[in-house]
Chains A and B, each alone.
Chain A
Amino acid sequence: MAKITPLRDAVASLVRDGDTVALEGFTHLIPHAAGHEIIRQGRRDLTLVRMTPDLIYDQLIGMGCAAKLIFSWGGNPGVGSLHRFRDAVEQGWPHQLAIEEHSHAGMANAYVAGASNLPFALLRGYTGSDLPKVNPNIRFVECPFTGEKLAAIPSVRPDVTVIHAQKADRRGNVLLWGILGVQKEAVLAAKRSIVTVEEVVDDLEAPPNACVLPAWALSAVCPVPGGAYPSYAQGYSERDNRFYKAWDPIARLRETFQAWMQRHVLDTDDFAGFRRVLAESMKEVA
């Protein structure tokens, strides 16, 4: 049953060292505030799962929170490389990062299988690709009815899934809309879940077929207005493309990255503090 609680308390009680953690959101509704809180609380040895590890995973990896990454596309969308991710893969900095690499179809199906309480996902996939040669978790099985060869990959079953959504009601039922990605599947596949929301309202005003995650299927709901920044929440905020571009030079060098993380994340108390300091530093750059 969801408790409506501050993000700091939710991360402290629900995200543990060594956990498999999925922070999902397909460009839209990426839970940046929760990622920062995991960094602030110094979690280590996480297996991070995400279809599109982007800026928040660049930060988690560069700050040494991750031991392993399970993913299908790693870049700064619309800009280029993730420099901290590449430094970890190419140079082992700040330490070696194990990677398990899939395609989007594989990952999406693995979340569906996790949410469906199945041991593996089945798809027509990976044929002709070299990915199965480098990832032993991509295997092939024979259809028992036709003999066709189909791809199989283990379900994703995170210890914790974290997502951001537009709103929750006072009981903790959550409504999200727009680009939904794999958030619903990732939450239902996980043992525990944290949902940060733009606002808590009296009435969700959700149409009957809207994407609602009921309070009883969630662990914690945390009000964090703007908590997806620099990603966006449809109906509340726009994607800050300027920040995605600004991230490239910040992350390019280890020193500038560390200084930026110290000032903006480690030295701030919460996401509101981060936004205040960021507004100051973006003004300095401009």
Chain B
Amino acid sequence: MDFTATEIMTVAASRLLKDGTVCFVGIGLPSTAANLARLTHAPEVVLIYESGPIGAKPTVLPLSIGDGDLALTADTVVGTPEIFRYWLQGGRIDVGFLGAAQVDRFANINTTVIGPYDAPKVRLPGAGGAPEIASQAKEVFIVLKHNPKAFVAKLPFVTSAGYLDGGDARAKAGIPGAGPTAVITDLGILTPDPVSKELTLTGIHPGVTVEQVKAATGWDLKISPDLKTTEIPDAETLTALRDLQARTAAAHGQVGGEG
């Protein structure tokens, strides 16, 4: 089966989610990948959305973070303060699954502003739940499309912490979780160097060249000597993804975005 760059990104992101994982899910690409995992290899994954649903099993992808389907299919629905206080801050989240507008070489995330904060070129939506998810989930996956505007050497604004300036800066700042252990894009997978914490290309999707990934990255991207090629999505998984998106399009007239 042929597949698109977005499809292999989504499938690659979903594969990282193990069965039984408790996952705090961002809307958009993370929600698509997390629900695909639930519908394929990880039926017991627990999806928590910041609007309050715990154990959501939506039949279609939510368009917004608070769609009714999330509440109706959840094990329970609690208030938003409780989600952040008991469940996230309480240390009960295995994986925070986030999107981003921009990422830098140390996996810090910007979703706030392009240009100066007081005189922005582009005002983005802002932090939402991400700063605390990025710091308090046991580990973090980031999924976003790969281009030079998104992968920048230095962010204009750090909304949510990755590894800050690299090395042990994150631990020194007193941030509890391990941080972003994988950045999944439509070109490949980047993981932090164990010591410097600089994002390194460790996986590349079939048909993509290293030059292509370097050209789409706004810094001199390090390439792992052990670079692996992403396994081609199997027909069953692709069918599950396409069915999910077709159901979603029929329900909403479009596929989910940020929220």
Asked if B254 and A111 make an inter-chain contact with CB atoms under 8 angstroms apart, the answer reads no
Asked if B129 and A241 make an inter-chain contact with CB atoms under 8 angstroms apart, the answer reads no
Question: Beyond A112-B81, A181-B51, is A26–B252 a contact (Cβ under 8 Å)?
Answer: no
Within 8 A of B (CB), among A235-274: 238-239, 241-242, 244-245
Asked if A105 and B88 make an inter-chain contact with CB atoms under 8 angstroms apart, the answer reads yes
Asked if B80 and A180 make an inter-chain contact with CB atoms under 8 angstroms apart, the answer reads yes
Within 8 A of A (CB), among B115-136: 117-118, 120-123, 125-132, 134-136
Asked if B161 and A129 make an inter-chain contact with CB atoms under 8 angstroms apart, the answer reads yes
B53, B123, B254, most chain A CB atoms within 10 A: B123
Asked if A127 and B173 make an inter-chain contact with CB atoms under 8 angstroms apart, the answer reads yes
- Which residues of A have CB within 8 Å of B66? 26-28, 77, 179, 181
Contact of B135 (CB < 8 Å), options: A85, A89, A128, A180: A128
Contact of B131 (CB < 8 Å), options: A75, A77, A78, A125: A125
Asked if A124 and B136 make an inter-chain contact with CB atoms under 8 angstroms apart, the answer reads yes
Distance in Å: Cβ of A102 to nearest Cβ of chain B: 7
Question: Beyond A27-B259, A75-B258, is A128–B68 a contact (Cβ under 8 Å)?
Answer: no
Asked if B84 and A181 make an inter-chain contact with CB atoms under 8 angstroms apart, the answer reads no
Asked if A125 and B132 make an inter-chain contact with CB atoms under 8 angstroms apart, the answer reads yes
Any A CB within 8 A of the CB of B32: no
Asked if A105 and B131 make an inter-chain contact with CB atoms under 8 angstroms apart, the answer reads yes
Asked if A234 and B132 make an inter-chain contact with CB atoms under 8 angstroms apart, the answer reads no
Count B interface residues, CB 8 Å: 61
Asked if A180 and B128 make an inter-chain contact with CB atoms under 8 angstroms apart, the answer reads no
Distance in Å: Cβ of B246 to nearest Cβ of chain A: 16
Asked if A77 and B63 make an inter-chain contact with CB atoms under 8 angstroms apart, the answer reads yes
Asked if B131 and A73 make an inter-chain contact with CB atoms under 8 angstroms apart, the answer reads no
Q: Which of chain B's residues has its CB closest to A73's CB?
A: B128
Contact of A127 (CB < 8 Å), options: B117, B157, B175, B258: B175
Contact of B173 (CB < 8 Å), options: A90, A128, A131, A241: A128
Any A CB within 8 A of the CB of B200: no
Q: Which of chain A's residues has its CB closest to B160's CB?
A: A129
Q: Which of chain B's residues has its CB closest to A128's CB?
A: B161
Question: Beyond A105-B131, A124-B89, is A28–B68 a contact (Cβ under 8 Å)?
Answer: yes
Cα–Cα distance between A89 and B113 once the two chains are bound (Å): 11
Asked if A101 and B89 make an inter-chain contact with CB atoms under 8 angstroms apart, the answer reads no
Cα–Cα distance between A81 and B125 once the two chains are bound (Å): 7
Question: Beyond A73-B125, A129-B161, A241-B252, is A103–B64 a contact (Cβ under 8 Å)?
Answer: no
Distance in Å: Cβ of B189 to nearest Cβ of chain A: 23
Asked if B173 and A77 make an inter-chain contact with CB atoms under 8 angstroms apart, the answer reads no
Contact residues on A (Cβ < 8 Å of other chain), bracket: 35 or more
Question: Beyond A78-B259, A129-B131, is A71–B126 a contact (Cβ under 8 Å)?
Answer: yes
- Which residues of B have CB within 8 Å of A125? 131-132, 135
- Which residues of A have CB within 8 Å of B81? 108-109, 111-112, 182, 185
Asked if B131 and A232 make an inter-chain contact with CB atoms under 8 angstroms apart, the answer reads no
Within 8 A of B (CB), among A195-226: none
- Which residues of A have CB within 8 Å of B253? 241-242, 245
- Which residues of A have CB within 8 Å of B72? 234
Cα–Cα distance between A77 and B257 once the two chains are bound (Å): 7
Contact of B68 (CB < 8 Å), options: A232, A242, A245: A232
Any A CB within 8 A of the CB of B34: no
Contact with A along B69-89 (1 / 0, CB 8 A): 011100001111101110011
Cα–Cα distance between A147 and B160 once the two chains are bound (Å): 24
Q: Which of chain A's residues has its CB closest to B120's CB?
A: A90
Q: Which of chain A's residues has its CB closest to B134's CB?
A: A128
Asked if B131 and A126 make an inter-chain contact with CB atoms under 8 angstroms apart, the answer reads yes
Asked if B51 and A105 make an inter-chain contact with CB atoms under 8 angstroms apart, the answer reads no
Contact of B130 (CB < 8 Å), options: A51, A80, A81, A103: A103
Asked if A77 and B64 make an inter-chain contact with CB atoms under 8 angstroms apart, the answer reads yes
Q: Which of chain B's residues has its CB closest to A30's CB?
A: B66
Cα–Cα distance between A112 and B80 once the two chains are bound (Å): 10
A sample of 27 cross-chain residue pairs with beta-carbon separation below 8 angstroms, ordered by A number, consists of: A28-B71, A52-B128, A72-B128, A73-B127, A74-B126, A75-B125, A77-B257, A80-B257, A103-B128, A103-B132, A104-B80, A104-B84, A104-B128, A108-B83, A111-B81, A112-B81, A123-B89, A124-B89, A124-B176, A126-B131, A128-B108, A134-B117, A179-B68, A179-B70, A180-B52, A241-B254, A245-B254
A-to-B contact residues, CB < 8 Å:
26-28, 51-52, 71-75, 77-81, 85-86, 89-90, 101-105, 108-109, 111-112, 123-131, 134, 148-149, 178-182, 184-185, 232, 234, 238-239, 241-242, 244-245
- Beyond the given pairs A75-B258, A129-B131, 16 more chain A to chain B contacts, judged by CB atoms under 8 angstroms and listed by A's residue number, are A26-B52, A27-B67, A28-B66, A28-B71, A75-B259, A77-B65, A78-B63, A81-B125, A86-B123, A90-B122, A90-B123, A108-B84, A131-B127, A131-B131, A179-B70, A182-B79
5 cross-chain pairs, A with B, having the tightest CB-CB distances, nearest first = A27-B66, A128-B161, A77-B259, A75-B125, A77-B64
